[in-house]
Amino acid sequence: MAKIVYGLSGEGSGHSSRSREMISFLISRGHEVKAVSYDRGFHNLKDDFDIMEVTGLRMINKDNKISITKTFAENFNNISKVFESSESVKQKIFKDFKPDLVITDFEPMTAYLANYFDLPLISIDNQHRFRYMEFPCPHDMKTEAVFVENLIRAIVPRSSISLIITFYFSKVKNRRTFLFPPILRQKILNTRTEKGNHILVYVTQAYEQLPEVLKTFEREEFHIYGFNREGKDKNLIFKGYDREGFRCDLASCKCVIGTAGFTLITESLHLRKPYCSIPVQGQFEQVMNAIMLEELGYGKKVSKLTRETISSFLYDLPDYERKIQGYQVEDNKKIKSMLDELLANKQKLLKEYHEKRQLTFWNKVSEPIQTDII
């Protein structure tokens, strides 16, 4: 059995949601796992796993757009705490625990320490799509794509193997990258979907004009999350944060209007709910998620939630419903099987890792090579 350090980003809830599934699976297989995270990642998992809290890097949003100034200021002010956390993880986790390998869900501290201690590093995330997978990128976003690719390289340096989760499958760029269906929480996998009459609306920040726009669709009923209020206002039903209530609303809605986060999109696709996506401005991943979703024919990408854009989405809803029936619904078995295979051959993985380091493996595999998609 292996001793594993599992680092996960604390941004949002998607990282902790899928890490919960993977860590639970690894423990059930007899592996010893010590997790490392911050913010939501730590608080969502602290009651169920052996997890260490650290100070992590954060992205600050303002008016549905990433604020570079606020993000820089926030992280700069915390730089000393990040360094202290790193030293603590180095001693308590890496030196005392003596792991065999590291798994990271886009968490940089454990990724860098894996390289510092010369340990194999496995990445499990959706972000590496933009480094190791071909994807549809508008010409005017090519420069940003290069920046994002380098940012990913800076956050997770030199992973031994990349296990990428995605709803959009394309060619990968090297032999150590594999594509898998999205990792879904067990409650979603166990959920029975049905088509109700309401539309689920999820926004991470309140759009002041949105309720008035939605009221003009008098024949529709909207269940709205993200406004920090509860109650009914004509055809609008505002709801506070309730994980189980949200899941039930998602399972029974006829479609979704929301931000273009990876987790909600993939849960909606699994339940075959057409999706009208409004990406957070300045967040490259959300824009790409929306573009991929629209290209597959499962929904619509909009830059603003206006009466015109919502009307257009609802008008085309029958087409999206027909198209989404072809979405292949899968569980988490394939990526779990891959982890089983890797960890069953732990000594081989360690041996190959060090041999490839000695042979300047990283330079050789940077050339595009066709490989299988799992």
Residue extents of the structural domains in the chain: 3-183+332-364, 187-324
Question: Minimal CA–CA distance to 264: which of 206, 368, 238, 278?
Answer: 278
Fold adopted by 187-324: Rossmann fold (3.40.50)
264-299 confidence digits (pLDDT tens): 999 999 999 999 999 988 889 999 999 999 999 999
CA gap 27, 349 in Å, rounded: 19
| Residues comprising the chain, all counted | 374
- In the DSSP assignment, the letter for residue 192 is P
41 - beta bridge partners? none
Counting as low any pLDDT under 50, the low residues of the chain are 60, 63-65, 67, 71, 76, 358-374
Q: Do 303 and 278 meet the contact criterion of CB atoms below 8 Å apart?
A: yes
What superfamily in CATH does domain 3-183+332-364 come from?
Glycogen Phosphorylase B; (3.40.50.2000)
Instruction: Report pLDDT for 366.
Output: 41
Distance CA 96, CA 103 (A): 18
Place of tokens 């690894």: 26
> d(Cα 222, Cα 243) in Å, to the nearest integer?
18
Query: pLDDT value at position 370?
Result: 38
Evaluate if pTM is beyond 0.85. yes
pLDDT at 351: 57
Q: What is the pLDDT of residue 325?
A: 95
Q: Residues 5, 99: contact at Cβ < 8 Å? A: yes
Q: Which two tokens stand for residue 297?
A: 């024919």
Q: Which spans in 58-124 are helix H?
A: 68-77, 79-89, 96-97, 108-116
Give the per-residue pLDDT at 57. Answer: 64
Give CA 141 to chain center in angstroms.
21
For residue 282, CA distances in Å to 10, 64, 128, 141, 151 come to: 19, 9, 18, 11, 14
CA 234 remoteness from chain centre: 35
pLDDT value at residue 363: 43
Q: What is the pLDDT of residues 197-220, one digit of tens each?
A: 999 999 876 677 899 999 999 999
Q: What is the pLDDT of residue 364?
A: 39
- CA 50 – CA 355 distance, rounded (Å): 32
Residues 6+ apart with CB under 8 A from 285: 126, 127, 130, 148, 262
